[in-house]
């Protein structure tokens, strides 16, 4: 099975919020864009909540970074047939450099997980590698924006994601 590799974060040094997924989908990997699947609600939700301009992926990513929001994945690489988080082969996971990320982004004060798998991977593979200050950062699991999370409508997901608005100013 082929090892897949994720992307560098969308971020600026002054980021205050970090949104974490697990690993880019097959579609995202093919297009080298976070949340590229046409039915993934991530960009529609964030564009709506933050009143971002409808623009190209690169411009939307830049707008998000200017809002103080960074986007990354817990995993740097893994073996995963298909796109489902449940298919990630646990023994193959390699996590991103979170100590380095937090050193480069010292103002990050909140973590939001895009789904349960991102949270569980972070808790299992990352949390114990962090200094106490970063290990204590407030963490919030949000419903996955993936089309595989069909138990919620986009509107219900957006309502749940609204919590990032109150934390933007911290």
Model pLDDT for residues 62-93, shown as the tens digit of each residue: 999 999 999 999 999 999 998 889 999 999 99
The percentage of the chain sitting over the pLDDT mark of 70, rounded to a whole number, equals 98
pTM of the model: 0.95
What is the topology classification, in CATH, of domain 3-167?
Answer: Uracil-DNA Glycosylase, subunit E (3.40.470)
Residue of 40, 96, 114, 149 marked catalytic? 40
Q: Is the predicted pLDDT of residue 165 greater than 70, yes or no?
A: yes
Query: Would you say 141 and 119 are in contact if contact means Cβ atoms under 8 Å apart?
Result: yes
Q: How far apart are CA 164 and CA 69, in angstroms?
A: 9
Residue identified by tokens 């986009």 is 154
Alpha-carbon distance of 121 to 92, in angstroms, equals 12
Q: What pLDDT sits at residue 20?
A: 98
Mean pLDDT over the full length of the chain: 94
User: Is 40 a catalytic site residue?
Assistant: yes
The stretch 45-71 carries a mean pLDDT of 94
By the 10 Å C-beta count (0-12 exposed, 13-18 middle, 19+ buried), 78 is classed as buried
Number of residues assigned to the chain: 170
């Amino acid at each position: 099975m082929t090892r897949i590799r994720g992307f560098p974060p969308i971020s600026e040094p002054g980021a205050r919020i970090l949104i974490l997924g697990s690993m880019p989908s097959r579609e995202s990997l093919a297009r080298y864009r976070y949340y590229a699947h046409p039915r993934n609600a991530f960009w529609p939700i964030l564009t709506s909540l933050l009143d971002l301009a409808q623009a190209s992926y690169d411009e939307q990513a830049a707008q998000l970074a200017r809002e103080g929001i960074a986007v990354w994945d817990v995993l740097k690489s893994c073996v995963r047939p298909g796109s489902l988080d449940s298919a990630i082969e646990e023994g193959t996971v390699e996590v991103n450099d979170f100590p380095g990320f937090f050193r480069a982004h010292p103002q990050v004060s909140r973590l939001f997980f895009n789904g349960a798998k991102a949270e569980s991977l972070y808790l299992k593979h990352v949390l114990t590698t962090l200094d106490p200050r970063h290990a204590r950062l407030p963490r919030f699991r949000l419903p996955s924006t993936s089309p595989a999370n069909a138990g919620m409508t986009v509107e219900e997901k957006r309502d749940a994601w609204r919590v990032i608005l109150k934390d933007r100013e911290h």
